[in-house]
C-alpha cells in the first residue's frame, strides 16, 4: 500500500520564522537576557567608540606610512603611554584591524565595488603622487608596481569606512544604555526596535574619505560616489563579521591538503554568530582581544549577573562572549527586519509568501549557528 502521508515541508527553524513574523526577536525575551544584552552593548559601545576613533586616525594621519610604529597612539606618543602599551594596559586596536581586514578580504557592497573603479584609481594615484612628491625611489616603485600602493590605499579606505560605520553603531548602543537606565527599555523587542530605528535613521548617511597632504585635500571616497552607511558598510560588515569571519589560528589546519577550511569564501562560517565561546582566552583567537576590552567597561548590574554564576568571574571572558552573541542576534534581528522586502507583519498573502522565502534564506544560514544555544 502506498502511503498517503505527506512529507513535512516545515523548516527546521520554523519557530524562529514565526517569531520574526509576529514581531519577536531571534533571542528570547527574558529578564536576564535584557540585562545581558543591554549591559554588554553598553560596554561594546565604549569599545567601538575607541576602535572607531583609531581607525579614522590611521586612515587620515597614517596614510601611506610604510612603518606605522605608533598608529595605535592616536597622535599622542609619550613615555607614560608607551609603558602602558608595553604592559598591555590599553585598548586592543588589533581586533579593530582584524575586522577591517576581514571586511576587506570578503568584500561586498558598494564600497568594495567602488575601490575597483577607474575613478577611484585616478583619485588614489593623485594622492599617492602627492604623498611621495619629490621621493623618486617611492615614485619609481609606484611606476614599476602600480598595484602595490593602490592596494594600500584601498585598505586605508576600509579603515575609514569601518571607522565611520562603528561611529554610528557606538552611538546607537550607548543611547540604548541611556534609555535602559531611564526605564524606557524593558524587553528584547524594544532593544531590537531601538537598533532598527538607529539603522534606519542613518541608513543614507554618506561614507566619504579624504586625506590632507601638504595642505591640500585629496578625495578618495567622494560624496559623489554615493556610498552610504547601511548598504555599503553595514550590510557587508554583517556578512563579513557576523557570518563569514576568518578561521582562527590553532583551531583548524591551514594545510590545503587537510581540507579543514572551505574552498569557497561564501562557505565560511567563522563569524560571531557561529563562534564557540569556550576557546575565548586562547592564543590566536581574535575575539579574545574584544572580550578583554569589554571586560573593563562592564556595568555593575552585568557584573552581578556574572558573579551569580558557578565560576563567578573566573571565566568572565567566556561569559562576555556568550552575552555578546546574544546581543549580536538582536542586531541581526534588526538587520533582518530592516532589509525585509515587505513589513513582516503584512496581511497580504503574496507579500507574506515573499517574506517567508526571504526568512527561510536567513534561517538556512542559522542552521549551524549558535542560535539554539543562546536560547537554551
Q: CA 57 to CA 75: how far, in whole Å?
A: 8
pLDDT of 2 > 60? The answer is: no
How confident is the model over 16-43, as a mean pLDDT? 95
Output the 3-class SS for 198-240.
Answer: HHHHCCCCECCEEEEECCEEEEEECHHHCCEHHHHHHHHHHHH
Higher-confidence residue of 9 and 128: namely 128
What is the 8-class DSSP label of residue 309? S
Residue with cell 520574526: 20
Q: CA 262 to CA 245: how far, in whole Å?
A: 12
pLDDT of 3 > 60? The answer is: no
Q: CA 275 to CA 248: how far, in whole Å?
A: 10
DSSP symbols for 139-151: HHHHHH-HHHHHH
Q: Which three cell numbers stand for residue 353?
A: 509568501
pLDDT of 300 > 80? The answer is: yes
User: Which residues, 6 or more positions from 167, have their beta carbon under 8 angstroms from its beta carbon?
Assistant: 49, 52, 56
Whole-number percent of the chain with pLDDT over 70: 98
How far is residue 143 from each of residues 67, 124, 155, 214, measured CA to CA in Å? Answer: 21, 13, 19, 22
Confidence of residue 6 (pLDDT cuts 50, 70, 90): very low
pLDDT of 57 > 60? The answer is: yes
Q: CA 309 to CA 286: how far, in whole Å?
A: 25
Confidence of residue 312 (pLDDT cuts 50, 70, 90): confident
- pLDDT value at position 284? 77
pLDDT of 50 > 60? The answer is: yes
Other C-beta atoms within 10 Å of 153: how many? 23
pLDDT of 263 > 90? The answer is: no
pTM of the entire predicted model: 0.92
Confidence of residue 279 (pLDDT cuts 50, 70, 90): confident
Tell me: the pLDDT tens digits for 167-184? 999 999 999 999 999 999
pLDDT of 4 > 60? The answer is: no
Amino acid at each position: 500500500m502506498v502511503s498517503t502521508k505527506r512529507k513535512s515541508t516545515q523548516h527546521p527553524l520554523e519557530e524562529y520564522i514565526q517569531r520574526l513574523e509576529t514581531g519577536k526577536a531571534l533571542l528570547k525575551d527574558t529578564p536576564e537576557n535584557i540585562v545581558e544584552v543591554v549591559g554588554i552593548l553598553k560596554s561594546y559601545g565604549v569599545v567601538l567608540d575607541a576602535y572607531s576613533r583609531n581607525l579614522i586616525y590611521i586612515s587620515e594621519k597614517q596614510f601611506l606610512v610604510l612603518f606605522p610604529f605608533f598608529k595605535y597612539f592616536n597622535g599622542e606618543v609619550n613615555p607614560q603611554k608607551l609603558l602602558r602599551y608595553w604592559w598591555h594596559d590599553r585598548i586592543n586596536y588589533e581586533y579593530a584591524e582584524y575586522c577591517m581586514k576581514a571586511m576587506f578580504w570578503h568584500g561586498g557592497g558598494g564600497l568594495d565595488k567602488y575601490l575597483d573603479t577607474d575613478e577611484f584609481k585616478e583619485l588614489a594615484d593623485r594622492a599617492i603622487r602627492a604623498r611621495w612628491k619629490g621621493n623618486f625611489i617611492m615614485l619609481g616603485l609606484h611606476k614599476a608596481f602600480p598595484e602595490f600602493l593602490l592596494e594600500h590605499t584601498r585598505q586605508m579606505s576600509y579603515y575609514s569606512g569601518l571607522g565611520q560605520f562603528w561611529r554610528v553603531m557606538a552611538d546607537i548602543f550607548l543611547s540604548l544604555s541611556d534609555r535602559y537606565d531611564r526605564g524606557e527599555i524593558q524587553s528584547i523587542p524594544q532593544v531590537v526596535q531601538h537598533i532598527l530605528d538607529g539603522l534606519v535613521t542613518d541608513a543614507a548617511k554618506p561614507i566619504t574619505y579624504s586625506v590632507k597632504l601638504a595642505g591640500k585635500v585629496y578625495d578618495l571616497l567622494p560624496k559623489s560616489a554615493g556610498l552610504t552607511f547601511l548598504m555599503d558598510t553595514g550590510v557587508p560588515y554583517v556578512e563579513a563579521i557576523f557570518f563569514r569571519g576568518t578561521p582562527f589560528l590553532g583551531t583548524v589546519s591551514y594545510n590545503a591538503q587537510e581540507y579543514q577550511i572551505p574552498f569557497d569564501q561564501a562557505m565560511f562560517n567563522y563569524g560571531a554568530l557561529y563562534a564557540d565561546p569556550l576557546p575565548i582566552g586562547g592564543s590566536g583567537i581574535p575575539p579574545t582581544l574584544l572580550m578583554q576590552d569589554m571586560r573593563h567597561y562592564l556595568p555593575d548590574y552585568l557584573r552581578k549577573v556574572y558573579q551569580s554564576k558557578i565560576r563567578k568571574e573566573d571565566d568572565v571572558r567566556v561569559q562576555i562572549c556568550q552575552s555578546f552573541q546574544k546581543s549580536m542576534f538582536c542586531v541581526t534581528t534588526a538587520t533582518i527586519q530592516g532589509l525585509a522586502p515587505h513589513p513582516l507583519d503584512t496581511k497580504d498573502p503574496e507579500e507574506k509568501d515573499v517574506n517567508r522565502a526571504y526568512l527561510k534564506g536567513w534561517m538556512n544560514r542559522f542552521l549551524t549557528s549558535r542560535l539554539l544555544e543562546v536560547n537554551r
